Protein backbone atom coordinates (compact mmCIF):
# COMPACT_ATOMS: atom_id res chain seq x y z
CA UNK A 1 0.00 0.00 0.00
CA UNK A 2 1.33 3.39 -0.98
CA UNK A 3 0.87 6.00 1.71
CA UNK A 4 0.53 9.60 0.54
CA UNK A 5 0.89 12.39 3.10
CA UNK A 6 -2.41 14.24 3.55
CA UNK A 7 -0.78 17.64 3.43
CA UNK A 8 0.93 17.06 0.11
CA UNK A 9 -2.31 15.68 -1.39
CA UNK A 10 -4.26 18.77 -0.43
CA UNK A 11 -1.49 20.95 -1.78
CA UNK A 12 -1.54 19.10 -5.10
CA UNK A 13 -5.34 19.31 -5.44
CA UNK A 14 -5.28 23.01 -4.72
CA UNK A 15 -2.85 23.65 -7.54
CA UNK A 16 -4.79 21.44 -9.98
CA UNK A 17 -8.25 22.89 -9.41
CA UNK A 18 -7.45 26.58 -9.24
CA UNK A 19 -6.43 27.02 -12.91
CA UNK A 20 -9.45 24.99 -14.07
CA UNK A 21 -12.08 26.83 -12.04
CA UNK A 22 -12.79 29.73 -14.36
CA UNK A 23 -12.35 28.20 -17.86
CA UNK A 24 -14.36 25.05 -16.99
CA UNK A 25 -16.94 25.87 -14.33
CA UNK A 26 -18.14 29.15 -15.83
CA UNK A 27 -18.85 27.74 -19.35
CA UNK A 28 -20.61 24.74 -17.79
CA UNK A 29 -22.78 27.08 -15.72
CA UNK A 30 -23.63 29.18 -18.79
CA UNK A 31 -24.51 26.09 -20.85
CA UNK A 32 -26.71 24.77 -18.03
CA UNK A 33 -28.46 28.14 -17.86
CA UNK A 34 -29.09 28.13 -21.63
CA UNK A 35 -30.50 24.59 -21.53
CA UNK A 36 -32.78 25.60 -18.66
CA UNK A 37 -33.95 28.63 -20.64
CA UNK A 38 -34.73 26.58 -23.75
CA UNK A 39 -36.87 24.19 -21.72
CA UNK A 40 -38.88 26.76 -19.80
CA UNK A 41 -39.06 29.96 -21.86
CA UNK A 42 -42.12 28.75 -23.78
CA UNK A 43 -43.99 28.04 -20.55
CA UNK A 44 -43.11 31.49 -19.21
CA UNK A 45 -44.42 33.08 -22.42
CA UNK A 46 -47.59 30.94 -22.29
CA UNK A 47 -48.46 31.88 -18.71
CA UNK A 48 -47.41 35.46 -19.31
CA UNK A 49 -49.86 35.67 -22.19
CA UNK A 50 -52.66 34.44 -19.91
CA UNK A 51 -51.71 37.11 -17.37
CA UNK A 52 -51.53 39.95 -19.91
CA UNK A 53 -54.81 38.95 -21.57
CA UNK A 54 -56.54 38.62 -18.22
CA UNK A 55 -55.31 42.00 -17.05
CA UNK A 56 -56.40 43.63 -20.31
CA UNK A 57 -59.88 42.18 -19.76
CA UNK A 58 -60.12 43.82 -16.36
CA UNK A 59 -59.34 40.68 -14.40
CA UNK A 60 -56.93 40.53 -11.48
CA UNK A 61 -53.94 38.24 -11.88
CA UNK A 62 -53.92 36.34 -8.58
CA UNK A 63 -51.01 33.99 -9.17
CA UNK A 64 -48.75 32.41 -11.76
CA UNK A 65 -47.11 29.04 -11.23
CA UNK A 66 -44.24 27.65 -13.31
CA UNK A 67 -43.50 24.01 -12.63
CA UNK A 68 -40.34 21.95 -13.01
CA UNK A 69 -42.05 19.61 -15.53
CA UNK A 70 -42.46 22.53 -17.97
CA UNK A 71 -46.12 23.15 -17.14
CA UNK A 72 -47.76 26.16 -15.56
CA UNK A 73 -50.95 27.68 -14.23
CA UNK A 74 -52.31 31.22 -14.16
CA UNK A 75 -55.23 32.15 -11.92
CA UNK A 76 -57.24 35.32 -12.52
CA UNK A 77 -60.26 36.77 -10.78
CA UNK A 78 -62.87 39.17 -12.06
CA UNK A 79 -66.15 39.43 -13.89
CA UNK A 80 -67.39 36.06 -15.10
CA UNK A 81 -68.27 37.44 -18.51
CA UNK A 82 -67.64 34.98 -21.31
CA UNK A 83 -65.65 37.34 -23.59
CA UNK A 84 -63.11 38.10 -20.86
CA UNK A 85 -62.74 34.48 -19.83
CA UNK A 86 -62.52 33.41 -23.47
CA UNK A 87 -59.75 35.83 -24.41
CA UNK A 88 -57.80 35.10 -21.23
CA UNK A 89 -57.96 31.36 -21.86
CA UNK A 90 -57.40 31.47 -25.62
CA UNK A 91 -54.33 33.72 -25.40
CA UNK A 92 -52.04 31.23 -23.64
CA UNK A 93 -51.07 29.04 -26.58
CA UNK A 94 -50.64 32.09 -28.79
CA UNK A 95 -48.27 33.73 -26.32
CA UNK A 96 -44.91 32.25 -27.38
CA UNK A 97 -45.63 32.83 -31.07
CA UNK A 98 -46.83 36.42 -30.61
CA UNK A 99 -43.87 37.28 -28.39
CA UNK A 100 -41.59 35.57 -30.92
CA UNK A 101 -43.08 37.50 -33.81
CA UNK A 102 -42.63 40.77 -31.92
CA UNK A 103 -39.03 39.86 -31.12
CA UNK A 104 -38.40 38.92 -34.76
CA UNK A 105 -39.80 42.27 -35.93
CA UNK A 106 -37.50 44.22 -33.62
CA UNK A 107 -34.53 42.01 -34.48
CA UNK A 108 -35.10 42.57 -38.19
CA UNK A 109 -34.91 46.31 -37.52
CA UNK A 110 -31.59 45.85 -35.74
CA UNK A 111 -33.06 46.62 -32.30
CA UNK A 112 -31.49 43.63 -30.59
CA UNK A 113 -30.91 45.41 -27.29
CA UNK A 114 -34.60 46.33 -27.23
CA UNK A 115 -35.53 42.66 -27.65
CA UNK A 116 -33.39 41.60 -24.72
CA UNK A 117 -34.35 44.61 -22.60
CA UNK A 118 -38.08 44.09 -23.14
CA UNK A 119 -37.66 40.42 -22.36
CA UNK A 120 -35.98 41.34 -19.08
CA UNK A 121 -38.72 43.87 -18.26
CA UNK A 122 -41.39 41.24 -18.92
CA UNK A 123 -39.65 38.81 -16.55
CA UNK A 124 -39.38 41.44 -13.82
CA UNK A 125 -43.10 42.23 -14.03
CA UNK A 126 -44.01 38.54 -14.09
CA UNK A 127 -41.85 37.88 -11.04
CA UNK A 128 -44.28 39.84 -8.85
CA UNK A 129 -47.08 37.41 -9.73
CA UNK A 130 -45.21 34.12 -9.46
CA UNK A 131 -46.27 32.21 -6.35
CA UNK A 132 -44.14 29.04 -6.27
CA UNK A 133 -40.44 28.59 -5.54
CA UNK A 134 -39.51 26.90 -8.79
CA UNK A 135 -41.30 29.62 -10.73
CA UNK A 136 -39.30 32.30 -8.95
CA UNK A 137 -36.07 30.43 -9.65
CA UNK A 138 -37.03 29.97 -13.30
CA UNK A 139 -37.78 33.65 -13.84
CA UNK A 140 -34.62 34.74 -11.99
CA UNK A 141 -32.36 32.39 -13.96
CA UNK A 142 -33.78 33.49 -17.29
CA UNK A 143 -33.49 37.11 -16.21
CA UNK A 144 -29.90 36.53 -15.11
CA UNK A 145 -29.02 35.19 -18.54
CA UNK A 146 -30.44 38.31 -20.21
CA UNK A 147 -28.60 40.58 -17.76
CA UNK A 148 -25.31 38.82 -18.49
CA UNK A 149 -25.78 39.17 -22.23
CA UNK A 150 -26.83 42.82 -22.00
CA UNK A 151 -24.07 43.74 -19.55
CA UNK A 152 -21.12 41.74 -20.82
CA UNK A 153 -22.05 40.49 -24.29
CA UNK A 154 -20.63 41.97 -27.44
CA UNK A 155 -22.89 43.44 -30.10
CA UNK A 156 -22.51 40.22 -32.08
CA UNK A 157 -23.48 38.07 -29.09
CA UNK A 158 -26.53 40.24 -28.42
CA UNK A 159 -27.53 39.90 -32.05
CA UNK A 160 -27.19 36.11 -31.85
CA UNK A 161 -29.16 36.06 -28.59
CA UNK A 162 -32.00 38.14 -30.04
CA UNK A 163 -32.21 35.89 -33.10
CA UNK A 164 -32.05 32.80 -30.91
CA UNK A 165 -34.79 34.06 -28.58
CA UNK A 166 -37.01 34.91 -31.54
CA UNK A 167 -36.61 31.47 -33.08
CA UNK A 168 -37.03 29.74 -29.76
CA UNK A 169 -40.34 31.47 -29.05
CA UNK A 170 -41.66 30.94 -32.57
CA UNK A 171 -40.76 27.25 -32.59
CA UNK A 172 -41.97 26.58 -29.06
CA UNK A 173 -45.34 28.09 -29.97
CA UNK A 174 -45.85 25.45 -32.67
CA UNK A 175 -44.19 22.73 -30.61
CA UNK A 176 -46.51 23.13 -27.64
CA UNK A 177 -49.57 22.74 -29.86
CA UNK A 178 -48.16 19.68 -31.59
CA UNK A 179 -47.34 18.05 -28.25
CA UNK A 180 -50.54 18.91 -26.39
CA UNK A 181 -53.05 19.10 -29.24
CA UNK A 182 -56.70 18.78 -28.29
CA UNK A 183 -55.67 17.32 -24.92
CA UNK A 184 -54.58 20.76 -23.74
CA UNK A 185 -56.27 21.92 -20.55
CA UNK A 186 -56.99 25.28 -22.18
CA UNK A 187 -58.89 23.51 -24.96
CA UNK A 188 -61.03 21.78 -22.35
CA UNK A 189 -61.74 25.12 -20.66
CA UNK A 190 -62.73 26.69 -23.98
CA UNK A 191 -65.04 23.75 -24.69
CA UNK A 192 -66.87 24.47 -21.43
CA UNK A 193 -67.16 28.14 -22.33
CA UNK A 194 -68.27 27.75 -25.94
CA UNK A 195 -69.48 24.13 -26.24
CA UNK A 196 -67.28 23.76 -29.32
CA UNK A 197 -65.06 20.65 -29.56
CA UNK A 198 -61.47 20.80 -28.32
CA UNK A 199 -60.16 20.04 -31.80
CA UNK A 200 -61.51 23.40 -33.01
CA UNK A 201 -59.29 25.31 -30.60
CA UNK A 202 -56.19 23.20 -31.09
CA UNK A 203 -56.57 23.61 -34.86
CA UNK A 204 -56.94 27.38 -34.58
CA UNK A 205 -53.87 27.56 -32.35
CA UNK A 206 -51.86 25.41 -34.74
CA UNK A 207 -52.79 27.51 -37.77
CA UNK A 208 -52.04 30.77 -35.95
CA UNK A 209 -48.68 29.60 -34.60
CA UNK A 210 -47.59 28.23 -37.98
CA UNK A 211 -48.54 31.54 -39.60
CA UNK A 212 -46.48 33.38 -36.97
CA UNK A 213 -43.54 31.04 -37.58
CA UNK A 214 -43.65 31.64 -41.32
CA UNK A 215 -43.91 35.41 -40.86
CA UNK A 216 -41.12 35.42 -38.30
CA UNK A 217 -38.88 33.30 -40.51
CA UNK A 218 -39.27 35.81 -43.34
CA UNK A 219 -38.21 38.60 -41.01
CA UNK A 220 -35.20 36.75 -39.65
CA UNK A 221 -33.82 35.35 -42.92
What pLDDT is stored for residue 43 in this prediction? Answer: 94
If one counts every other C-beta atom within 10 angstroms of the C-beta of residue 103, the result is 29
**Residue 63: closest CA among 120, 127, 144, 143:** 127
Q: Which residue has the higher pLDDT, 17 or 181?
A: 181
What pLDDT is stored for residue 139 in this prediction? Answer: 94
CA atoms within 13 A on the CB side of 119: 39
pTM: 0.84
CA atoms within 13 A on the CB side of 40: 24
Summarised one tens digit per residue, pLDDT across range 142-167 is 999 899 999 999 999 999 999 999 99
CA 50-159-68 angle, to 5 degrees, is: 40
**Residue 186: closest CA among 52, 80, 77, 71:** 71
Strand bridging mode 72-77 / 60-66: antiparallel
- Report whether 47 contacts 122 (CB < 8 A): no
pLDDT at 2 over 50: no
What pLDDT is stored for residue 81 in this prediction? Answer: 83
Band of the pLDDT at 25, cuts 50, 70, 90? low
Mean pLDDT of the chain: 87
Domain extent at residue 172: 27-220
Number of separate domains in the chain:
1
pLDDT at 21 over 60: no
In a domain, 180, yes or no: yes
In a domain, 38, yes or no: yes
In a domain, 20, yes or no: no
Summarised one tens digit per residue, pLDDT across range 89-119 is 999 999 999 999 999 999 999 999 999 999 9
Distance CA 101, CA 214 (A): 10
In a domain, 17, yes or no: no
In a domain, 199, yes or no: yes
3-state SS assignment for residue 64: strand
DSSP-assigned letter for residue 21: I
Amino acid sequence: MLAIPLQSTQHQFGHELAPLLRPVVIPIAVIALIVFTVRHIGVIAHEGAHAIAGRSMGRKVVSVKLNSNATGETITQGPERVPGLFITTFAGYLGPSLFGLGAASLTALGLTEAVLGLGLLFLIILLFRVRNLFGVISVLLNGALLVLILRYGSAHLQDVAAHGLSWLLLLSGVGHIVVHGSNAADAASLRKLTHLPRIVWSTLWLLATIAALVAGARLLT
